[in-house]
Structures are given as structure tokens and as C-alpha cells.
């Protein structure tokens, strides 16, 4: 997964958020943009870390691949 790239989700996508050591499932709505921080995660090769707004989340790499479309920053080369 390309680190530092941003993707707009076409459908709602389940993610995992860790708050004070506890994992919670949340849904990122369609149309939202996430940025790849790292991945795959060290404990599971299928999961990647992304940033949604200011929230670091974990989601399935396959979900991002099938539901995300890369968003190019203004002035960036493809």
C-alpha cells in the first residue's frame, strides 16, 4: 500500500480505533478521505494504518483497495 497517499472511500468502511488501549469498531462514511500511515501492520499482514481527519485507524488493506480511489494533491505528479 502506498504510504502517504490519500484515498476517497466509495462506500462506508469499518475500521478499528484504539482509545486508551481499548479497540472500538467505527464506520467511516462514503466520500471521506483517509491517508495511509503505514502498512501492513506488524501483527497482521492484511491490516493497514490510516489517518481519518485526526484519528489514526486500522482497516483491511483489501477494503481500501476495493473501496478507495486515490486523491491527488494539487500540484502533485501522478
Lookup: cell for 71: 486523491
Q: What is the mean pLDDT of residues 65-70?
A: 94
Q: Give the per-residue pLDDT at 23.
A: 95
Cα separation, 63 vs 73, in Å, equals 22
pTM of the model: 0.82
Q: Give the per-residue pLDDT at 3.
A: 81
15-29 pLDDT per residue, tens: 999 999 999 999 999
Cα separation, 21 vs 32, in Å, equals 25
Dihedral sign of CA atoms 4, 7, 28, 15 in order: negative
- Following DSSP, what letter does each residue of 55-69 receive, concatenated? EEEEEEHHHHHHHEE
Domain boundaries along the sequence of the chain? 6-71
Q: Give the per-residue pLDDT at 42.
A: 56
34-49 pLDDT per residue, tens: 999 987 655 556 889 9
Rounded to 10 degrees, the C-alpha dihedral 51/34/39/67 comes to: 150
Report the topology of domain 6-71: SH3 type barrels. (2.30.30)
Amino acid at each position: 500500500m502506498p504510504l502517504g497517499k490519500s484515498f476517497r472511500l466509495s462506500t462506508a468502511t469499518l475500521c478499528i480505533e484504539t482509545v486508551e488501549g481499548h479497540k472500538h469498531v467505527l464506520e467511516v462514511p462514503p466520500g471521506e478521505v483517509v491517508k495511509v500511515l503505514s502498512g501492513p501492520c506488524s501483527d497482521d499482514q492484511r491490516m493497514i494504518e490510516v489517518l481519518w481527519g485526526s484519528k489514526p485507524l486500522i482497516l483491511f488493506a483489501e477494503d481500501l483497495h476495493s473501496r478507495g480511489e486515490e486523491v491527488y494533491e494539487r500540484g502533485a505528479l501522478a
